[in-house]
Structure 1
Amino acid sequence: MKIKQNTIVKPLPTDELIKEHEKFWRLKLPESFLTFIKENNGAEIENGTFEYNNRCYAIERFLCMLDDIEDHPNGIYDIDAVFTQIGERLTNNEDLLGTEILPVASIFAGDFVCLDYRTDMHNPSVCIWSHEESGDFDPVTYKAADSFSEFLKILQ
Structure 2
Amino acid sequence: MKIEESSIVLPLPTEAVIDIEESYWKVKLPVEYRKFILKYNGGIPTTNVFSCNAHEYVIERFLCILEDSEHNELGMYDIDVVLAQIEERLTDNEDLIGVDLLPIASLFGGDFLCLNFKNDKNYPTVGVWKHDESYELEPIFFEGFTSFKEFSESLVE
Shorter chain as denominator, the TM-score bin is over 0.9
Amino acid at match of 1:89: R
RMSD: 0.7
| Distance in 2 (alpha carbons) for counterparts of 1:74 and 1:92 | 29
Amino acid at match of 2:138: D
Contact 2:53 2:143 (C-alpha < 8 Å) held by counterparts? no
Residue matched to 2:6: 6
In the alignment, does 2:104 pair up with 1:108? no
| Distance in 2 (alpha carbons) for counterparts of 1:93 and 1:52 | 25
Higher relative contact order (CA 8 A, sep 6+): 2
| TM-score for the superposition, normalised by structure 2 | 0.97
**What CA deviation, in whole Å up to 9, does each residue of 1:30-56 have, x standing for no partner?**
100001000000001113001223211
Residue matched to 1:130: 130
Residue matched to 1:143: 143
In the alignment, does 2:63 pair up with 1:54? no
Q: How many residues align?
A: 156
Tell me, what secondary structure is at the counterpart of 2:56? strand
Segments of structure 2 that go 5 or more residues without pairing to the other structure are: none
Amino acid at match of 1:19: D
Residue matched to 2:120: 120
Runs of 4+ in 1 over 4 A off after TM superposition: none
In the alignment, does 2:27 pair up with 1:27? yes
Using the TM superposition, give the Cα deviation of residue 2 of structure 1 relative to its aligned residue in structure 2, in angstroms.
2.1
Segments of structure 1 that go 5 or more residues without pairing to the other structure are: none
